[in-house]
Amino acid sequence: MAAGTPVWSSRFAFIMASVGFAVGLGNIWRFPYVTGENGGGAFVVVYLLCVFAIGVPCVMAELLVGRRGQSSPSKSMATVAEESGRSRLWGGVGGLGVFTAYTISITYAVVVGWVLWYLLQAASTGFAGVDATSSTQTFNALLADGSTMLVMTVVGNLIVGSIIYAGVTGGIERAVTVMMPLLFALLVGLSIYNVFAGGFAETMRWLFTPDFSKIDGPVLLAAVGQAFFSIGVGMGGMMTYGSYLPANFSITRGALLIVLADTAVALLAGFVVFPMVFNYGLDIAGGAGLIFQTLPVAFAQMPGGHVFAVLFFVMLSVAGVTSMVGLLESVTNWTDQRTTLGREMSAVVVVGSVTFCSVASVLSYNVWQDYTVFGMNFNAASEGLYDKITLPLGGLLIALFVGWIMSREHSFSELGTDPRVFSIWQVLLRFVVVPAIAIILITGLV
């Protein structure tokens, strides 16, 4: 372990931090509506296959580069490339991950602000008396209110910044070892509630009775994309967290646990969201507005809806905050190592600059919504940049590097696993992950 490099105090802390980074709004907010839009059970089957064939090898690749490089993503990639007899310019791939994390954070911070605002509404009103029309009007009014959105974005970033500022063991570990068990407990508790509240049997049939006739090209691509992006690869976070790993920790076991937990959260989110949708006759393919516009209608109608709404948005807030911590930890780590600011001031500068840039995201929902470049406003352009280009490109280059460029002896010694397991992992990385991500990248660009 390099001098001065922080180390996770326990395996549990690392798993909770990594799961917290991987488990975000993409699991609880995005997974249900993407599943709804793509036909349910058939999509889930393809998604699960993709998670383990693509997600596990990618997470293993990022963790091993991080631990072997013992530094920020860019320095780790450069160091590992150099010791394999390759150019240090490969460090640019790690830098691309840091840039992607920063770009995502600018727009993601605003969505976390929405979640915190809805948590306050849930606590104060429980959405009593809300119907479909008023729910849509409330969400639209929030988007039009730049001041409120900015305040909530700042509140969210202050929470995230305080965790990162306190350091790896004093901040991130303390936060995630409390917040992630809370997240799982809330998901399980709300799922059990739905077993008795109604709609659960329909949910189980819909999720686990696949109609494979619904699988076509767009569904396959949606499943691959959701699996790839929900795990959190290509953002520098896994590589950064990997650099804090002790040498005796099994990367293979850790990657499996992270992906299993991430997948469990996505499925539990379905058990929480879909029973309400079925029970109250809501739109199963409600799109991105499913959480913010559709579910408040269900909360208003159900017995105990006030409590249920508060617990749901607490859960969503935890997911958003822990993901933001993972995203900005990689940027803070990079800034700390590239400047003389020190860790604490690096955290202040990074979180402060993200907050400043988030103003553009806030304004693009209202005042600036008609200002476009190539037909896209700031939010659409930012999301297009990381969704279609930098995320898949970064993931593709990492998979190419670890699968084909990095020394086989080095990757084998770093994983420290059974030779047969190593061979399966390398075959998947080379011949499944690389083509799959290349297809995502090319399709997105086309």
Q: How far is CA 306 from CA 135, 178, 369, in A?
A: 15, 24, 34
pLDDT tens, the chain, 446 aa long? 555 567 888 888 888 888 888 877 777 777 777 787 787 888 888 889 888 888 899 999 999 999 999 889 999 999 999 999 999 999 999 999 999 999 999 999 999 999 999 999 999 988 888 888 888 899 999 999 999 999 999 999 999 999 999 888 788 888 888 888 888 888 898 889 888 888 889 889 888 888 888 888 778 777 877 777 778 788 888 898 899 898 888 999 999 999 998 888 888 888 888 888 888 777 776 666 677 877 888 888 888 889 888 988 998 898 889 889 889 999 999 999 999 999 899 999 999 999 999 999 999 998 888 887 778 888 888 888 887 888 889 989 999 999 999 999 999 999 888 899 999 999 999 999 999 889 888 887 77
**pLDDT on residue 207:** 86
Q: What is the pLDDT of residue 4?
A: 58
pLDDT at position 336: 92
- Tell me the three-class secondary structure of the chain, residue by residue: CCCCCCCCCCHHHHHHHHHHHHCCHHHHHHHHHHHHHCCCHHHHHHHHHHHHHHHHHHHHHHHHHHHHHCCCHHHHHHHHHHHCCCCHHHHHHHHHHHHHHHHHHHHHHHHHHHHHHHHHHHHHHCCCCCCHHHHHHHHHHHHHCHHHHHHHHHHHHHHHHHHHHCCHHHHHHHHHHHHHHHHHHHHHHHHHHHHHHCCHHHHHHHHHCCCHHHCCHHHHHHHHHHHHHHHCCCCCHHHHHHCCCCCCCCHHHHHHHHHHHHHHHHHHHHHHHHHHHHHCCCCCCCHHHHHHHHHHHHHHHCCCHHHHHHHHHHHHHHHHHHHHHHHHHHHHHHHHHHCCCCHHHHHHHHHHHHHHHHHHHHHCCCCCCCCCECCECHHHHHHHHHHHHHHHHHHHHHHHHHHHHCCHHHHHHHHCCCHHHHHHHHHHHHHHHHHHHHHHHHHHHC
Q: What is the pLDDT of residue 161?
A: 94
- pLDDT on residue 105: 94
